[in-house]
């Protein structure tokens, strides 16, 4: 198995002189730089806006800074919400990151699901699908066309342009796409993209989704590769059961806050990422919160179900939790793979 990171830097807002909005970003950078040294494969950063409690908004900028401080870590977006971006400008920015990092960009994209963000940008959520499709077409063309071209679409128009710089990865950086419903997962397979699965789904739901993707890929005559499915999981390495349960309650509270931002005033937002019960039992089942032994058991269930790539979201144990996971959990699954190869 391989393990990467998934998450967000934190920056505080406020007028007092003791508020340092850069500290959270510096902490995130140091966290990921050490993760590379500990053997982690990747770092996926979110894109979110207007939360009031600090999440990454300029994702490409932040990953470019991280690229300069690392040499092997894959740099992922999870995800760039295409309906909000000029696709040509985004293509140029992402290509620059791919170029400067030596071809380490994993380009995750999505339609978006939080109402407050669409409302903040004054973009109707009903347009998200069409905007996404048009932007995706423009991005792909921008990265694969070496001669000047034009585009006249519903939302964007470009005349006689050529996008620079070229990407190192050919024909372009790998696309990753978040999906949860069967139809959405089928769409990812149809495009030939890699799949991102969210951190809130219980293990059995995650494995069902992975099987749906596998079936969809193979039905199109392609070979399924489990490394092309990234499964996000919250991580908290607990001292004991009481410490674990306190961390789970904090996680539930944080998720409720996010869901409140995401929900439409009419309550009609039915995004799959918001569909899970916020009970302690469900949250525990869906996360890698627990003692080392409990975490190994949960990772084993995912591994036995065919998962090969897990993206860890820090649930509060911080760099010490990351170190402990790399020392006490990762070797268990590295040893298992070596044993299978020997057989």
Tens of pLDDT, residue by residue over 173-187, are 999 999 999 999 999
Q: Across the strands, what pairs with 310?
A: 3, 231
- Which single residue is written with the structure tokens 């109402």? 115
Supply the range of the domain harboring residue 223. 2-342
Please report which confidence band the pLDDT of residue 40 belongs to, taking 50, 70 and 90 as the band edges: very high
Positive or negative: CA dihedral 100, 103, 104, 105 = positive
Torsion of CA 163, 164, 165, 170, to 10 degrees: 20
CA distances from 261 to 31, 44, 119, 257 (A): 27, 22, 11, 7
- Which single residue is written with the structure tokens 């909000």? 84
Residues 6+ apart with CB under 8 A from 286: 199, 200, 201, 202, 203, 233, 234, 276
pLDDT for 343: 47
Tens of pLDDT, residue by residue over 271-303, are 888 888 779 999 999 999 999 999 999 999 999
DSSP 143-183: HH--S-EEEE-SS-EEEEE--SSPPSSSSSSPEEEE--SHH
pTM across the whole model:
0.94
Residues 70 and 35: their CA atoms lie apart, in Å, by: 10
Positive or negative: CA dihedral 239, 320, 78, 86 = positive
pLDDT for 277: 78
Number of domains in the chain: 1
pLDDT for 341: 46
Supply the CATH number for residue 260's domain: 3.20.20.30
pLDDT for 276: 82
Q: Poorest-confidence range of 73-87, 247-261, 308-322?
A: 247-261
Please report which confidence band the pLDDT of residue 34 belongs to, taking 50, 70 and 90 as the band edges: very high
DSSP 17-63: TT--TTHHHHHHHHHHHHHHHHT--EEEE----S-SS---S-HHHHH
């Amino acid at each position: 198995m391989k393990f990467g990171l998934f998450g967000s830097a934190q920056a505080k807002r406020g007028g007092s002189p003791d508020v340092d909005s850069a500290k959270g970003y510096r902490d995130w950078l140091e966290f990921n730089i050490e993760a590379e040294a500990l053997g982690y494969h990747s770092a996926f950063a979110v894109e979110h806006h207007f939360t009031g409690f600090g999440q990454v908004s300029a994702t490409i900028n932040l990953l470019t800074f991280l690229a300069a401080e690392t040499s092997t870590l894959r740099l992922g977006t999870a995800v760039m919400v295409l309906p909000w971006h000029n696709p040509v400008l985004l293509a140029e920015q992402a290509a620059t990151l791919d170029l400067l990092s030596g071809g380490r960009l994993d380009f995750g994209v999505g339609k978006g699901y939080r109402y407050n963000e669409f409302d903040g940008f004054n973009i109707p959520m009903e347009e998200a699908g069409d905007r996404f499709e048009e932007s995706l077409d423009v991005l792909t063309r921008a990265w694969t066309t070496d001669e000047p071209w034009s585009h006249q679409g519903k939302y964007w128009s470009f005349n006689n342009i050529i996008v620079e710089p070229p990407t190192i990865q050919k024909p372009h950086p790998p696309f990753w796409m978040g999906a949860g419903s069967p139809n959405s997962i089928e769409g990812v397979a149809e495009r030939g993209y890699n799949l991102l699965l969210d951190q809130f789904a219980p293990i059995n739901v995650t494995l069902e989704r992975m099987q749906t993707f596998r079936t969809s890929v193979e039905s199109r005559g392609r070979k399924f590769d489990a490394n092309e499915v990234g499964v996000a999981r919250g991580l908290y390495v607990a001292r004991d059961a009481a410490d674990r349960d306190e961390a789970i309650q904090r996680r539930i509270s944080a998720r409720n806050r996010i869901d409140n931002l995401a929900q439409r005033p009419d309550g009609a937002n039915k995004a799959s990422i918001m569909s899970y019960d916020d009970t302690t039992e469900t949250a525990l089942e869906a996360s890698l919160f627990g003692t080392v032994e409990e975490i190994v058991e949960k990772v084993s269930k995912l591994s036995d179900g065919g998962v090969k790539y897990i993206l860890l979201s820090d649930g509060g144990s911080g760099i010490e939790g990351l170190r402990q996971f790399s020392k006490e959990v990762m070797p268990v699954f590295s040893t298992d793979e070596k044993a299978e190869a020997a057989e």
